[in-house]
Amino acid sequence: MAASNLTPYRRKLAKRRRSATLFQSLCVGAVLVSLLMLAALLYSVLSDAIGWLNLDGSSIRTLLTDIPSSKAIASGLWPAIIGTVWVMSICIIVSFTVGVAAAIYLEEYAGGRRIDELIQINIQNLAAVPSIVYGILGLAIFVAFFVWIDPESAAKGKNVTAAGLTLALLIMPVVIVSSQEAIRAVPPSVREGGYALGATRWQVVWRLVLPQAMPGVLTGIILAVSRAMGEAAPLVIMGALSFVPFAPTSPLDRFTVLPIQIYVWISKPQEEFHMLAAAGIIVLLILLLGMNGAAIILRNYLQGKHRG
């Protein structure tokens, strides 16, 4: 090929390389801006939290083991911590079981009927619904249900279970869609091999497809739970208490959670409560990282077991 014919090709190649380099630079810049904003936010929160620790009479033990008080140095997060653990436990169990089951049906059993397509479209649209709408839904369904079951209950239906079910509905679309993607990523040869050996559809799904898809499913659960743990609006609509002098001991008790307690403290005019709210944010982040860390360890274990 003549050198003159190579010149236009080289120009196009150089242009593509410049475009690729520019795009890569923009992506790196976006990541750096995000990291800088996150670092600035963490620095601000840590500075206020350290300021609260430097107050006379304040201590980490008080923060973690005492109940809220009218004094910042005597206030604690124990009821909110236990309430968060209760609510998130119910949320994770319900969203995982129902969400994964729905994903299995849509990917392995649905036959492409119009009703199946309608369900799929609605699930994708529900992921964009504002969280406060789920709070109204939880108030109208779950709270009313528990009131109907026990009209004499002191919680009046606004209990831990209603909150957990509401947050499970909130993250259910994300869990279902991510689980579908993980199941869809399993090679068809895995299913065909199972059928060739005489396995039923359920045996193929349970023993072959689901174990390989579980790491991806857990990734979706991690992302969804991270959103649910920071939600306050749905629980405020449902009647979560802003001051709870006791920790819930059963799924039918009244409750509060860390985001609501932090919001209450940050709304007060005293600077000490603002510092206390920053300390509460740190506790919430640690609890979130602990739950996500456990899920990541389980995901990595399953990946290693599958590869082995």
**C-alpha distances in Å from residue 6, one per residue of 14, 16, 187:** 12, 15, 42
Give the DSSP letter of residue 109: I
Residue at which a domain ends, from 54, 80, 96: 54
Model confidence at 50: pLDDT above 70: yes
Taking CA 267 as the corner, what is the angle to CA 266 and CA 272, rounded to the nearest 5 degrees? 50
Please state the rounded mean pLDDT for residues 237-266.
85
Which of the residue ranges 1-5, 27-31, 56-60 has the most confident prediction, judged by mean pLDDT?
Answer: 27-31
- 188 and 39 housed in the same domain: no
pLDDT tens, residue by residue, 158-180: 889 999 999 999 999 999 999 99
**Pair (117, 255) in one structural domain:** yes
Whether pLDDT at 185 is above 70: yes
What average pLDDT score do residues 60-86 get?
Answer: 87
Residue 117's H or E segment, with its range, is helix 114-126
Q: Which of 63, 214, 71, 239 is nearest to 153 (CA)?
A: 239
Residues 79, 121, single domain; the answer is: yes
| Domain ranges, residue 157 | 62-307
306 falls in which pLDDT band (50, 70, 90)?
low
Q: Same domain for 106 and 123? A: yes
Same domain, 38 and 137: no
- The answer on 208 and 78 residing in a single domain is yes
Q: Mean per-residue pLDDT for 282-295? A: 87
Distance between CA atoms of residues 296 and 91, nearest Å: 18
Burial label for 233, CB within 10 Å (0-12, 13-18, 19+), is middle
User: DSSP of 190-253, one letter per residue?
Assistant: HHHHHHHTT--HHHHIIIIIHHHHHHHHHHHHHHHHHHHHT--HHHHHHT--S--SS---STTS
- 273 CB-contact burial (10 Å; exposed 0-12 / middle 13-18 / buried 19+): buried
| Boundary residue ending a domain (30, 54, 78) | 54
Look up the CATH number of the domain holding residue 171. 1.10.3720.10
Q: Which residue has the tokens 């079910």?
A: 165
Asked whether residue 44 falls in the same domain as residue 110, the answer is no
**pLDDT at residue 170, rounded to an integer:** 92
